[in-house]
Amino acid sequence: MKRSYVPVILLLAVLMLNIIFTQYMVHQYFYEHYTNTIIAAVINVILFPIAFLIYKKGVNVND
């Protein structure tokens, strides 16, 4: 049973990006740059299916 920890690392990276874009989104809203706010929100939403795909791929490999 050989496990791959690459998906775990990738998921952690995705979560870090989530944190970064969330803070960016909130700050851009405060500074009234609403277009940037929407861009950051969309990226945050897109990161979720990416995380789910990484999970799906990672669960079945060598486990």
Residues that bind other proteins (CB under 8 A): 3, 5, 7-8, 11-12, 14-15, 18-19, 21-22, 25-26, 29, 32, 34-35, 37-38, 40-42, 44-45, 47-48, 50-52, 54-55, 58-59, 63
Work out how close the CB of 27 gets to other proteins at its nearest, in angstroms, rounded to a whole number: 11
How many CB atoms within 10 Å of residue 40? 21
CB of 41 closer than 8 Å to CB of 22: no
Instruction: State the residue for tokens 């939403």.
Output: 45
Task: Kindly state the DSSP code that residue 56 receives in the 8-state scheme.
Answer: H
Work out how close the CB of 60 gets to other proteins at its nearest, in angstroms, rounded to a whole number: 10
